Structure 1
Amino acid sequence: MTFTMNLAGSYTLCPGMTPSIHGHRPVLGHGILGRLLRGQQGALVERTLGQVFTLCAHAHRRTARLALNAAHPRQETPLPIEPPVFLWLETARDHLRSIAMDWPQRQTGREAEPEPLDWLRSCPISLRVVARETQEKQAWDALGQLRHWLEDHLLGEPLDRWFTHHHEPEALGLWCRVHAANLFPAKTLHTWYAMARELVPATRPLDVLDANPAQQFTAMNDMAQAMLGSAHFVQYPTWLGQCAETGPWTRLRYRHKSGTAIPTAWTRLSARWIELLEIAAIQPPGPVEHLPPLLASGAQYLGEGQAIAWCEMARGLLLHWVQLDELGRVQDYRVLAPTEWNFHPDGALAQTLSSLPAHDTQSAWALAAAFDACVACQVSAPAPSEETHA
C-alpha cells in the first residue's frame, strides 16, 4: 500500500508572517482514515495504520491494539499487548533517528551528510528497523547494548553519574559546549543553545492524562467527544478551549512537577536528548521490583463498541478512537497525533514564529526541531517585496 506526499501532508513555517504555519495531513480529515479502515478488524487494522503512519508505526500499532481490545472487551482472542520495554526501545530509536537525521537538516537546510553520521557507526540498534526485536528478552538486551554504547562511546561515564551533573537544561548546555568539538550530538545542541534559550513560546501542556483514574476517565471521555464533535478536530485540535502542546517535556510523569524555570525552545530540545538517556538507563526489574512509569499508555471503553486509547511516544501523546460493529469490524476510526497539536496555526509555535523577524530562518528551524513534526517540514522566508503582518 502506497500513500502519496499529498495524503501524508507537510508543513511550511513562515517566520514573521501571520499565519505563520501552512499545511496539514489530508489523511486525518474528511473521514479518509475511517473509510480506509472500514470493515477491517484485528491485526489488519494495526498493519494498515503502520503503513499510513510509517515514521511512528510502532506507536500506532500499539495504540490500535489497545483501542481494539477495549472497544471489543468480550472477544475470545484479544490482540496481545507488548510489554513496555518494546515501547521504550522504539521510542529511543525514534529519538536517535531524529537527532541523527533531522537535527542536521534543520541546521543546514540539507539532508544529513554521510560524515556527520560516523558517530553512529558502532551504534548497536538500527535506525532503519530492518529486523525488529520480537522477544521481550531481545528488547531488553538491545536496550542494554544501547546503554553501554552511550556510556562508552558518547558520555564517557555511567549514565547515573552523568545524570547527577548534567540532567537539567542549563547543565546540559554547559556539557554540550565542553564536548561540541568531538561529539556530534553535543555539537548540534550547542549550535542551538544560545538561540533556543531566547525563544520562549507560551506553554500550555496537553494535560489530558492524569495519575488520578477518575479525573483521567472524565478527561478521556471529553476528548473522545471532542474528536467526534467536529470533522476537523483531529487536524486542528484544542483542549479546554485553548491550543495545547505535547512532547517529552509534557509527560504524565511531569504533570505535577514543580519548577520555576520558564520553558524555552532549549527546554524542549534538551528534553528529547534527556529522554533518550532516561530510556537507555532502564534495566530489567528484579522479582519484586516495578517498572518505572516512563511512558504512559492505555485505553478506555466508551460503550457500544467505542473506545479511546493513548500512548506517549517520541513526539508526544498519541490518541486513537475507534467505533466497531457487533462483529468487531471498524465502522469509524480517528487518530489525533502530536504534530496536529504542536503545529496548530494558532498554537504556541505559530505565535512564536509570527513574532520573529521575517528572515530569521535559523530560529524557525530551531523551533521546528523543538516541536518536531512527524511529516515533511520546511521553512520559507518571504520574498524581498513581501510585507510581513506580525
Structure 2
Amino acid sequence: MSDPGGSLDIQLTPSSGGLVCTIGSTRPVAAASAFIGRSPEETTARLPLLFSICARAQAGACAAAFEHASGWVASPILRGRREAAIAAETIREHLWRILLDWPPILGESPSRDDMAAVLALSNRILARIDPAGDLFRAGASAAAGQAPAPAPAPGLDVLLTDLTDLLTHKVLGVSPEHWLSLIGDPSGFARWCRATETVAARLLRSLLESGEASLGQTPITALPRLSAEDLIARMSAPDWADFVARPTWQGQPRETSPFTRVNPLPLIEVYGTGLLVRLAAQLTEVATGLRLLGGNVSGRAVPAAPSAEGNGIGLGRVFAARGLLAHFVHVEDGRVREYRILAPTEWNFHPRGVVARALESLPPGPEEQLRRQAELLITAIDPCVAFKLTC
C-alpha cells in the first residue's frame, strides 16, 4: 500500500490589507474506506502499514475504536503499555524535527548521528514494550485483562537511562525534569536560553535576540475536550467527508497541538502565544513523554476509553505527536461497514485555521525574510506531511 499522506500547498499573497494565506491539500482523507468489508482483525493488522508517520498512534486509535464498537474495555495493563509505546513514538517524532529540521534554520547541518542514536534507542524501547508485536491487536484487551501485570522488561531501565542522557546532553542541556521546571519559571527559562549551547537553546535564543519570539500569535482557540457522543455524531453525519477534510467545532476552526496540550501559561504571559513558546512546547512534550515512559502517568496520557454498549459503533482517540487523532468505525456482521479518520493536520492546517491566521499575521518585509519566518511557523506547528510554500 502507498502512503496516503498527501501534501499541503501553502501560498502567501500580499494584498492591500496585508498577507492572504491559501492552503490547499491533497491529503486523501477518505483513505480509510479501503478497509470497508474487512474484519477488525484484518484492519488492525493492515491499517498501521498505511502510515509512515505515527503508525503506533494510528494503531492505538484503531484498536480503541474496535474495542469501543464491541463493548470491550482495555485493561489498565494494556492501556499503560499502549500509552508507553505512543509516548516513545511521540518523542521520536519531535526529535526528528528538533535534530534534523532545527539546525538548518541556524545555518548548520542536521544532527544525523544524534538522530540515528534516537532511532536505535526508540526501536529497542518499543521492542521491550511490545515484544510479541500484538499490543494493538483487536481484542488484545481480553487476554491482557486476565493476565497478571508483567514484570519490567529486561534492559528497559538501561535504555531509558541512555535516552535520558541523550536528551540531557544533546537536546535540552539540562535534565528533562529540570527542563519541566523551567516551563513554569520564565526567568529560569530566559537564563537557559542565554547559557545553554544545544541547537534547541540556540534557536530559541536567536528568536529572542532577533525580536521574533512572538511571531505568529493568533486568536484561534484550542479544541475542547469533546465527548465521544458528539464526535461520533459529527463523524457519522451525512457531511462527514467535509468535516474530516476541514473540521470546525461550533462553527470555528480549532487547534490541537503540543502547544495546546502543554499550555505553558507562565511563558505565554511573558512571550505571548507565538513562535518561541510553540517550539518550547515541543521540547516539553519530549520531556513529559520520557516521564510517562519512566512510569509516571502524570505526563501526557491517552484519553480514557469511552463506555460502550457493543452496538457496532466505535470511537478511538489518542494524542499523537501533532495533536488529537480520532478513528470512527461501524462494524456489522463482523465486517467494517464504515471507517473514518480525523487527523490533527486537518484541524491545524484548516484553510482558516491556526497556521493560516499565524502566517497572515507576519509583518511585511523582504521575500527572503517572509519565507524564513513562514517556514519557521509551519515547522513549529508541524504538519505530518510535506508542504510547498509559495510567497
Question: TM range, normalised to the smaller chain?
Answer: 0.7 to 0.9
Alignment of 1:12 onto 2:18: no
Among residues 338, 343, 346, which one is paired with 1:337 in the alignment?
Answer: 343
Change (3 A) 1:171 1:199: farther
Q: Name the counterpart of 2:139.
A: none
SS at match of 2:12: coil
- What letter corresponds to residue 189 of structure 1 in structure 2? L
The CA deviation at 1:68 is 0.8
Alignment of 1:223 onto 2:221: no
The CA deviation at 1:60 is 0.3
Q: Name the counterpart of 1:244.
A: 254
Distance 1:269 1:225 in 2: 34
Q: Name the counterpart of 2:92.
A: 93
The CA deviation at 1:321 is 0.6
Q: For the Cα contact (< 8 Å) 2:71–2:311, is it kept in 1?
A: no
Q: Name the counterpart of 1:323.
A: 330
Q: Name the counterpart of 1:2.
A: 2
**Any residues of structure 2 matched to 1:271-310 within 5 Å, and which?**
271-282=281-292, 284-285=294-295, 291-300=297-306, 301=308, 304-310=311-317
Q: For the Cα contact (< 8 Å) 1:11–1:21, is it kept in 2?
A: no
Q: What TM-score, normalized by structure 2, do the two folds share? A: 0.77
Distance 1:165 1:53 in 2: 35
SS at match of 1:234: helix
Q: Name the counterpart of 1:117.
A: 112
**Any residues of structure 2 matched to 1:1-390 within 5 Å, and which?**
1-3=1-3, 7-16=4-13, 20-29=21-30, 32-34=31-33, 36-73=34-71, 81=79, 82-104=81-103, 113=109, 116-120=111-115, 123=117, 125-126=119-120, 129=123, 132-135=126-129, 137=153, 141-155=158-172, 157-165=174-182, 168=185, 171-180=188-197, 183-193=198-208, 194-209=211-226, 219-229=227-237, 230=239, 231-251=241-261, 260=269, 262-282=272-292, 284-285=294-295, 291-300=297-306, 301=308, 304-327=311-334, 329-356=335-362, 357=364, 359=367, 360-381=370-391
Q: For the Cα contact (< 8 Å) 1:94–1:314, is it kept in 2?
A: yes
Q: For the Cα contact (< 8 Å) 1:16–1:354, is it kept in 2?
A: no
Distance 1:140 1:176 in 2: 30
- What letter corresponds to residue 2 of structure 2 in structure 1? T
Distance 2:186 2:322 in 1: 18
- What letter corresponds to residue 185 of structure 1 in structure 2? A
Q: For the Cα contact (< 8 Å) 1:89–1:143, is it kept in 2?
A: no
Distance 1:66 1:169 in 2: 39
Q: For the Cα contact (< 8 Å) 2:218–2:361, is it kept in 1?
A: no
SS at match of 1:250: helix
Distance 1:156 1:284 in 2: 20
Equivalenced residue count is 352
The CA deviation at 1:99 is 1.2
Q: Identity, % of aligned pairs?
A: 27
The CA deviation at 1:177 is 3.5
Distance 1:169 1:248 in 2: 19
Distance 1:235 1:274 in 2: 29
Change (3 A) 1:177 1:21: farther
Q: For the Cα contact (< 8 Å) 2:92–2:118, is it kept in 1?
A: no
Change (3 A) 1:98 1:224: same
The CA deviation at 1:52 is 2.0
Distance 2:203 2:38 in 1: 44
- What letter corresponds to residue 297 of structure 2 in structure 1? L
Change (3 A) 1:303 1:21: farther
Change (3 A) 1:235 1:179: same
Q: Could you give the per-residue CA deviations for residues 22-77 of structure 1, whole angstroms, max 9, x where no partner exists?
A: 22244214xx421x0112223432333222221111100111111111111269x9
The CA deviation at 1:271 is 0.2
The Cα RMSD (Å) is 3.5
Residue segments in structure 1 that go unaligned for 5+ positions in a row: 210-218, 382-390
Distance 1:14 1:179 in 2: 36
SS at match of 2:245: coil
The CA deviation at 1:83 is 4.0
Distance 2:27 2:292 in 1: 38
Residue segments in structure 2 that go unaligned for 5+ positions in a row: 130-151
The CA deviation at 1:222 is 1.2
Q: Could you give the per-residue CA deviations for residues 255-295 of structure 1, whole angstroms, max 9, x where no partner exists?
A: 9999755422222221001111222244645xxxx732522
Distance 1:161 1:266 in 2: 19
Change (3 A) 1:161 1:259: closer
- What letter corresponds to residue 232 of structure 2 in structure 1? A
